[in-house]
Amino acid sequence: MANVADDQAPRGPRADAAGETATMDGVLPAPDRSRVLPFPDWERYELLERLGQGGMGEVFRARDRRLGRMVALKFIRDANTARAERFLQEARTQVRVDHPHVCKVFEVGEVGGRPYIAMQLVSGQGLDLAAPAMSLSEKVQVMRDVAAAVHEAHRLGVIHRDLKPSNILVERHEGGRYFPVVVDFGVAFDDAHGHGLTHTGALLGTPAYMAPEQARGDLAHLDRRTDVYSLGATLYELLTGVTPFTAATAAEVVAKVLHEEPPSPRAHAPDLPGDLETLVLKCLHKEPEQRYASARALAEDLGRYLDGEPILARRPSLLDRWRRRARKHRALVAVSALSLASILVLSVLGAHSWLEARRTRAQLATRARLAEQVGQQVKEIEWFLRTAHALPLHDTQREQQLVRERMARIAEKARELDEYGKALTHYALGRGHLAMQEFEQAHAELSRARGLGLDSPELHYALGQALGAKYRQGVEDMRRGGDKAWVAKRKQALEQEYLVPALQSLERSRALELESPHYLEGLIAFYRKDYDAAARAAARATVSAPWMYEARRLAGDVALARAVEQRERGEYDAARSGLEEAATLYTQALEAGRSDASSYEALAQTWLERVDVELDQGRPARDALERTLAATAQAARAAPHRSMSYRQRAYALMRQYKVENNRGAVDALEPILKDWIDSGLRAVARAPNDVYAHDALAIGYYWRGLYEWRHQRDPRPSWNEAIARLERALQLQPDYPWALNDLGLIHFNKGNHLREHGEDPRPAFTEAARYFEQAARADPQYLYAWANQVHVHNAMADFGLGRGLDPEAHVRRSIEAGERSLAINANASPTLGGMAAAELMRAQYLLDAGGDVRPPLERARQQLERALRINPTDGRSHLHVAEAHHLAALQAMRDGGNPAAELEAGREALERAYQGAPGCVDCRVVGARVALAEAEWAGRQGRPSLPLLQRARAEAQRAVDMVPYFEAHQELARVYWRLARALPPGGASTAVASGLEQVERALKLDANLAQAHLIRGGLLLMRARGTEGLATRQEAALQARAAFARAFELNPLLRRRHQELADEVEPLLARLAASRQGLD
């Protein structure tokens, strides 16, 4: 923020926590709320209270009625020309400096004949007031941050010239850290505007903090080192409690600044570290070349001090101290010298004023001709590209190359021009980039033009469009980076960076004579989110300028933005209707601009949103997917050099892959993966710093790894490539929640892959959990970061369950993560399914341990009922329902009850699971288990069990055929074990052999499967009881004993149910041994 008034007036308006307003002289009483506030009916801002006032102006706390934010409004008190010019120069200068520690200027305007500046409202107090409560390291940290901010201003050619503690506001952020904000650029030198009023020789600044060259009025030698001096004077006061020079009058202070050396800081603060004294005195050197060369160099030395490293500054040498003493005795005419300099400047200016007037007239005529020429060139470029876009769909690279060559010639001529000519050149280049929809480059060129002093409505019209486009793309990208709260937080930053200045520039372009003023009105309304007004204005623009297809595209943008917001609120029917409207409008725009890639990209984005709407509701999305892919292909044909269409295509193919995978279309998957990865590679090649292009490509590699795993190929190379891409995305955007989550998914599946190959998956699962937790910390409202914690803890629980370990700890963490997920979205059906799976594992452990399974089963059923109300066709949820009925049936049989109802309900749930997820291999495994339970119940009732066992075998065999992983082989082996017991001896022998073949395959994948060793023991025991040779039977019995022992070692819970069976081995061995002895 800036001054309330001039040097003798209150400074730095702020909303202080104590209800006070700091000034350069201390603290004013609480803001005055008793006086009537001006402009009560002002539609732009609502004035809430007067924060302070002085000789030049007054400052109010106000609410922005359009954007809903709090601002500080600074008004000039009268129409004095010099004050008004200085007031506006303050805004022009400060708005150029974009840094967190520099107060932001939002808007300059006029109301009731009074100019105003709308600025950031800073909650805090002046550094002069905050300093007594700060520690030494906190003071140094604050000045390091301030120096870094001042360096950013210097980089843009802005010298502050009035740095002092009262022009540095300090807030307390989380953790107690002080956050400084530099304010008051009212007397700054801006190389885009010059020294302005200071050419009169007026002494602007504050004497106690002025560098000698500033105190002399030596304007030609003011540079960044002038501010370095002021930073040193400010640090001097912070460390000692006094300014470097004090006197009764300002003139006496100036004399000391010019001719005396500052007292040693340790003369005031004896305990001050020597490094800080050295650092301060270097800043306060009379000769600029002996100071730090830049504010950044000062900031870096302060950082070294804070880090405990040696500083670069050195104490003055003996010769340097001698020169300073000699200089001290020349201080005889300090104040007179300043006055004389002012008189001389005025004399020179008067002598040459008539020459300046003549030169000015000639310069204005030249500038007018140049502006006309540039305007004509801009129109030619824009109409040439519009003509190219109107042609039938074709590659526009040739036309764009011609435009680039034209722009290069324009840039070449700029070398011969003055600064105004250079500004016009940058403006023309910015308009060229804007016409080619290269918004980043357009923004850069237009900002350079503005920095060189160009401030025309035409410039603001172009700048507003470039900024608005960057804002929209930034918001769209953010939507792919995290959940609503994360997006909302970053959206606020985007609004400040792009949206607010876009609106300011568009407002300032209203005076232009445009093809259609309604189009400008529509843009402004659109960015203000007044969608109804924007739609009306776009429709009027279409009527008044039917050749201007951009108006139809704007109408499409409005419909798309409204539909996206409706989808985010869960208003799916309204969103679907809005997306249809947007697609129609974009298609109409394409009728006139058949080779405009941006319109195809907008159409592709619309259909991609439609895909998500359908998938959110579990509806078919193939038609919307095909339309998305068609639009991306057309966009790529129109502009093969742009990355956006390839990135959109990659995201669309990601959704198509999931749709085809869920419906079991295995043959369609590999071509989709190839297209997906190819599109991602093209996107990254065209935009190497596009975070989301890397993300889309990484997910493609991740899914290719899953596909390779499923088809018995090594997935690790693909996953390693995915990890590399995600790590690159995180370099570009640290704490990017989706990249962290995707890294977790890769490590999660690495763990599953290790498990299926007999290796310990727990380190990989732990790494996955770490990434999921990191994603949740980056965005606490990120649904999937919590939901995936559910699944990884379920995997760890399941791994332990297979070894007889109590899964309770992981089940609890799974359910806790699920509750966090549901707090974000109560309708997250996959989370409910995961929590149900955790309860099912708890129930399985209780069943194995002899406990009561009913409480966890009841909780699982409640969660699954909720999940299926949200998504009735979800195959995975129906699978969990079947598992719950299966466990309930087993409990009923063990308790002597009737499981028929549970088994029938389980079969029905499985049928729905098969329909919802045809490619679900786990569904077939559970189908085999349910059929086995039905066979056991049939046998208990005296009914034939063989048909049910044969059905179980068919289900298990289908699972093996789909994905031959350890659990499928193990379940098929279990079915053969049961079949062997039900078949006559001849058939039993074949079943035993088939079962042993399957169990060996399972153990080859994982040698530590307790259930597989148990099944092997059972099959070998049957072989030992069979009719084969005695030696074969005896060997089978010995192997059965070893298999049972290994099973019980791996999972002690198996003893409870199967010890009796294992105990049959020893008597059998004894009988076989006796038989062998009899033969001998």
- Give 36's DSSP letter: P
Domain finish residue from 451, 471, 487: 451
* 1051 and 989 belong to one structural domain: no
Instruction: Give the CATH number, domain containing residue 75.
Output: 3.30.200.20
Closest among 101, 170, 109 to 139, alpha carbons compared: 170
Number of domains composing the chain: 4
SS3 for 184-236 is CCCCCEECCCECHHHHHCCCCCCHHHCCHHHHCCCHHHCCHHHHHHHHHHHHH
Cα–Cα distance between 216 and 197 in angstroms, integer?
Answer: 16
Distance CA 567, CA 578 (A): 10
Provide the residue type at 1018 as one letter: G
On whether residue 262 sits in a domain, the answer given is no
Domain that holds residue 1031: 1008-1080
Element (H, E) at 179: strand 178-182
Q: Are strands 125-126 and 114-120 parallel, antiparallel or unpaired?
A: unpaired
Q: Which of 82, 166, 179 is nearest to 129 (CA)?
A: 166
HEC string of 342-360 equals: HHHHHHHHHHCHHHHHHHH
User: What's residue 581's pLDDT?
Assistant: 96
State phi, psi for 481 to the nearest 5 degrees.
-105, -15
CA-based nearest residue to 701, from 735, 663, 737, 727: 727
Residues 969 and 1019 in one domain: no
Q: What is the 3-state secondary structure (H, E, C) of 522-575?
A: HHHHHHCCCHHHHHHHHHHHHHHCCCCHHHHHHHHHHHHHHHHHHHHCCCHHHH
* 991 & 1026 share domain: no
Helices 572-592 and 549-568: angle between axes, nearest 10 degrees: 160
Block means of pLDDT (10 residues each) for the chain, 1080 residues, are 28 30 30 65 93 74 92 76 62 78 88 88 90 94 96 87 93 88 68 39 70 78 92 97 87 79 95 95 95 96 94 69 46 38 41 52 63 78 84 90 90 85 92 92 94 91 92 79 67 84 90 85 92 94 87 95 90 94 95 93 96 90 96 96 96 94 87 97 95 94 93 93 95 89 95 87 96 92 91 95 93 96 90 95 94 95 95 94 96 94 96 92 96 96 94 96 92 96 88 96 92 96 89 94 96 93 94 75
Looking at the fold, whether 178 and 62 belong to one and the same domain comes out as yes
CA distance 122 to 372: 43
Q: Which two tokens stand for residue 191?
A: 């190389």
Q: Which of 211, 216, 198 is closest to 334 using CA atoms?
A: 216
Q: Classify 8 in phi/psi space as left (phi over 0), alpha (psi -120 to 50) or beta.
A: alpha
Q: What would the 3-class secondary structure string for 129-171 be?
A: HHHHHCCHHHHHHHHHHHHHHHHHHHHCCEECCCCCHHHEEEE
Total Cβ atoms within 10 A of residue 975: 28
pLDDT score, position 933: 97
Residues 995 and 1027 in one domain: no
Burial bucket for residue 371 (CB in 10 Å: 0-12, 13-18, 19+)? middle
Contact present, 183 and 170 (Cβ < 8 Å):
no
Domain contains 965: yes
Walk across the sheet containing 178-182 and list its strands.
125-126, 168-172, 178-182
Residues 1014 and 1053 in one domain: yes
pLDDT at residue 981, as a whole number: 92
**Residues paired with residue 74 on neighbouring β-strands, in sequence order:** 59, 117
Backbone φ and ψ of 1029, nearest 5°: -60, 155
Provide the CB-side half-sphere exposure for 852 (13 A, CA). 3
Whole-number Å distance between alpha carbons of 209 and 237 = 10
382 and 431 fall within a common domain:
yes
- Give the separation between CA 144 and CA 231, rounded to whole angstroms: 10
Of 524, 471, 503, the residue nearest 106 (C-alpha): 503
Is 74 assigned to a binding site?
yes
Is the same domain home to 959 and 981?
yes
Give residue 464's identity as a one-letter amino acid code.
G
| Residue 268 located in a structural domain | no
| Residue 852 located in a structural domain | no
Strand, helix or coil for residue 1032: helix
Residues 1080 and 944 in one domain: no
Residue 963 lies in a domain: yes
Alpha helices in 757-874 (DSSP H): 762-778, 783-801, 808-824, 829-849, 854-870
Q: Among residues 700, 691, 678, which one has the least CA distance to residue 633?
A: 678
Is 1068 part of any domain? yes
pLDDT given for residue 251 in this prediction: 65
According to the model, what pLDDT value does residue 84 have?
65
Q: Is residue 424 part of a domain?
A: yes
Residue ending a domain, choose from 978, 1002, 1026: 1002
Q: Pairing between strand 105-111 and 125-126?
A: unpaired
pLDDT at 252: 73
Q: Is residue 25 domain-shared with residue 107, that is, in the same domain?
A: yes
CATH code of the domain in which 989 resides? 1.25.40
Give the pTM. 0.56
Q: Which of 1002, 1033, 1053 is the last residue of a domain?
A: 1002
Q: Do 960 and 1073 belong to one domain?
A: no
Same domain for 62 and 180? yes
- Half-sphere exposure in the Cβ direction for 333 (13 Å, CA): 6
CA distance 105 to 1013: 74
Q: Is 790 exposed, middle or buried (0-12, 13-18, 19+ CB in 10 A)?
A: buried
Q: How far is CA 387 from the centre of its chain?
A: 38
- φ, ψ for residue 71, nearest 5 deg: -135, 170
Give the Cα separation of 775 and 785 in Å (integer): 6
Residue 865 maps to a domain: no
CA distance 649 to 528: 30
Q: Is 511 helix (H, G, I), strand (E, B) or coil?
A: coil
pLDDT at 33: 43
Residue in the structure block whose two tokens are 């991740």: 702
Dist CA 937 CA 944 (whole Å): 10
In the structure encoding, which two tokens stand for residue 631, read together?
A: 């639009």
Tell me how many degrees the CA angle 955-956-959 measures, rounded to the nearest 5: 90
Phi, psi (degrees; rounded to nearest 5) at 266: -75, -10
* Integer Cα distance of 662 and 659 in angstroms: 5
